[in-house]
Amino acid sequence: MRYPAHGANPSTLYRELELEMPEQIIDLSENVNFLGPPASFGAIWTSLFQEIAAYPHEDAEPLRSQLAYRHNVATEYIVIGNGAAEILMALARCYAREKIVIVQPSFSEYARTLEQQQAIIQSIEVEELTNYSLPMERLKEAMCGAKALYICNPNNPTGVVTPKKQLIELLQYGERVDCDLVIDEAFMDWTDETESMAELVASSNRLIILRSMTKMYSMAGVRLGYALTQHAFKIKQELPHWNVSAISIALGMQALQEEDFCAKSRQQAAQNRAVIIPFLMEKGCIVTKSKTNYVAFRLPSTYDATKFYFSLLQKGIVLRHTQNFIGMDGEWFRLALKEQHKMTAFQQALEHFFRCK
């Protein structure tokens, strides 16, 4: 049985699992903002038609400069990609055939892109998933002789935020042993940003931060991400020319003005967490201490995770499986926080499964 590597594509999932797909699907496997794109995107959409005929700026200006201003870093420390995934691919080329450490469980694209470049990967599992506790001494030991350490913060799939002081400790150690610290902050804009490491980019050439505009602004179909690092030029050399479309640049510029939209989205996510986490815990589930627009949970030990997953699929409810997350092994599920009727349907399906065990 083959499980797709990512969420957000129910038709592929049902086909790979050889299941008949219900007419109505509730997709809780993808973690894009359920509020959709900001309304202002629609307001400027027709004006973007004129951008189709012209080549975009090779460095994605003026978005690059605006991102540098927002993060208070030099413009030359910003490189923009066709989604953060493209940045990951380019970064992997910089680490070809090197030893790389990845904190697990984490986003599967780290390993996939690095393996394509024959990197030697050492996975270090966290000590406890609900808090996503970093094994600091084991990580430091692994960093010796490694070219980079990859950490996702907030973590995907748990949604847990690693304290900044721990990351600073690892960064300082990396500077001593010549090991880069790659921090994927794709979901950091769902938090208050206090644990972001962006402000340290200017003072350390061992720090590489990845950011995504896909999740918060519901731009998965547009593809837009970037990196903050003193090695921006080196990463840029691994990217194709004109890799970011003019339409993406324009929407990215508009997104940077959407502070009220972001605040509303974070508030909605917090309200959703305040409902679903107690619900799951009351049912005996183990739930991660997420600060994002998704949580991860594990059923009580008396229940079969695979049967639960397929029972929901039969009802048209799709969770993100964890078959390809090291350390979760299909026993956990990632649950995206969506509209109320979708969350209610999930809750009712879980209660039905528990009653019918």
Please give the pLDDT value at position 8. Answer: 62
Residue written as tokens 């894009």? Answer: 32
Distance CA 299, CA 131 (A): 17
Q: Cβ atoms within 10 A of the Cβ of 286, count?
A: 16
Closest CA to 227 of 50, 47, 307, 243: 243
DSSP structure class, residue 253: H
Residue type, 172: Q
Over the Cα atoms of the chain, what is R_g? 20
CA distances, 237 to each of 54, 75, 80, 220, 258 (Å): 23, 16, 12, 25, 31
Distance CA 64, CA 57 (A): 10
Question: What pLDDT score does 201 carry?
Answer: 97
Query: How many whole angstroms separate alpha carbon 271 and alpha carbon 263?
Result: 12
> pLDDT of 174-215, one tens digit each?
999 999 999 999 999 999 999 999 999 999 999 999 999 999
> 259 in helix, strand or coil?
helix
E strands, 46-162, where? 78-81, 99-104, 120-125, 148-152
Contacts of 274 (CB under 8 A, 6+ apart): none
Residue 156 phi, psi (nearest 5): -115, 110
Q: Structure pTM? A: 0.94
Mean pLDDT by 10 residues, the chain (357 residues): 64 84 92 95 92 92 97 97 95 97 95 96 94 96 97 97 98 98 97 96 97 94 96 95 95 97 97 97 97 97 93 93 89 96 96 86
Q: Which of 224, 295, 232 is nearest to 253 (CA)?
A: 224
Q: pLDDT per residue over 134-147, tens digit each?
A: 999 999 999 999 99
Confidence at residue 6, expressed as pLDDT on a 0 to 100 scale: 57
**Burial 126-151, CB ≥16 within 10 A → b, else e:** beebbebebeeeebbebbeebbbbbb
Taking only the tens place, the pLDDT of each residue in 333-352 is 999 999 999 999 999 999 99
Overall size of the chain counted in residues: 357
Q: How far apart are CA 84 and CA 226, in angstroms?
A: 6
- Asked whether the beta carbons of 321 and 308 are under 8 A apart, the reply is no
Least Cα distance to 36 among 311, 264, 323 occurs for 264
pLDDT of residue 4: 56
The domains found in the chain, sorted by start residue, are 10-30+260-355 (3.90.1150.10), 39-255 (3.40.640.10)
